[in-house]
Amino acid sequence: MFKKLLSLPYALFMLLFVLLPLVLILVFAFIDASDGTFDLLANFKELAKEDALGKVVKNSFIAGFSTSAICLLIGYPIAYYLTKKEFNKKGVMIGLFIAPMWVNFLLRMMATKAVFSVLGVKLGMGTVIFGLTYEFLPFMIMPLYNTLLKIDKSYIEGAGDLGATPTKAFWKVTVPLSMPGVISGLTMVMIPSVTTFAVTEIMSNGKMMLLGDFIYNLKADSLNMAAAISFVLLLFMIASMVISNKYDKDGGKGGRLW
């Protein structure tokens, strides 16, 4: 009984600030703003008429996929290297990657923009991707590090005993077993990258928009249409979670060998 009472504040918090907002999104997404009636497709038909939406979606996925790919290319070697370090050195390096997260991300973006201004770098898609990578790189490193750390080293040793070179053992054993971390990292980077708006506003001087910017600007005119886009993104997030769970059936102990 006492444990249930302790969990009550958490349950109330989840109900008010997680479940209720999601329910409101679903409600507004399927209500026609013109007459207040329930209509599954009304808001999506209105979105199809938005000329700017196509370009926004294109920019969003270019930025999202580019950021995810860059974070993976940078984050995987770093996470792999951290698993090979001694604890003291490892703790320092992890702290260096986490430390920027202690500073408000708006301040970090403003500082990065100021550096680009001094260097004469033109603000646009490239600087937006740089800002997104800078912002979300720790979200790629940490799940990769946790997964790589949990891999049973006997698999790698066994591959070596069977004649595999370190490189072949890495690609045939380590990479497949680390797939849960890869999928989790890609999910944690891709979705925020596509839906962010403050980073885009700062790092492009408002010259380009991602879906987050589009929703932010749209909600002033039509909360229902903004909710419809949010609903699509919610489905995308659920699909990502399903894929992530598919690769992590062993409870985070690693993926499966090919």
List the chain pLDDT tens, one digit each, 258 residues: 667 777 888 888 889 888 898 888 888 888 887 777 788 788 888 777 777 788 888 999 899 999 999 999 999 999 998 888 666 566 677 777 777 777 788 888 999 999 999 999 999 999 999 999 998 998 999 899 999 988 888 888 888 888 888 889 999 999 999 998 998 899 889 988 988 888 888 999 888 888 888 888 876 567 888 888 888 888 888 887 787 777 665 544 555 555
Q: What is the pLDDT of residue 45?
A: 81
| Residue 145: C-alpha distances to residues 175, 180, 191 (Å) | 12, 11, 20
For position 249, what pLDDT does the model report? Answer: 59
Query: The domain containing residue 218 runs over which residues?
Result: 52-246
Rounded to an integer, what distance in angstroms lies between the CA atom of residue 14 and that of residue 145? 28
pLDDT attached to residue 252: 47
Assess if residue 114 is contained within a domain: yes
Q: Is residue 47 part of a domain?
A: no
Q: Which amino acid is at 61?
A: F
| pLDDT at residue 219 in the model | 64
pLDDT at residue 131 in the model: 93
Q: What total of structural domains would you count in the chain?
A: 1
At 116 the pLDDT is: 93
CATH number (domain holding residue 152): 1.10.3720.10
The answer to the question of residue 113 being in a domain is yes
Cα–Cα distance for residue pair 221/208, rounded to 1 Å: 19
Tokens 């792999």 sit on residue? 80
H or E element in which residue 122 lies: none
Per the domain annotation, does 8 fall within a domain? no
- Examine residue 2 and state whether it is found in any structural domain, yes or no: no
Residue 251 located in a structural domain: no
Cross-strand partners of 80: none
Structure tokens at 79: 């996470």
Q: Residue 18 falls within a domain, yes or no?
A: no
DSSP code of residue 252: S
Contact (CB, 8 A) for 195 and 212: yes
pLDDT of residue 251: 46
Residue 142 belongs to a domain: yes
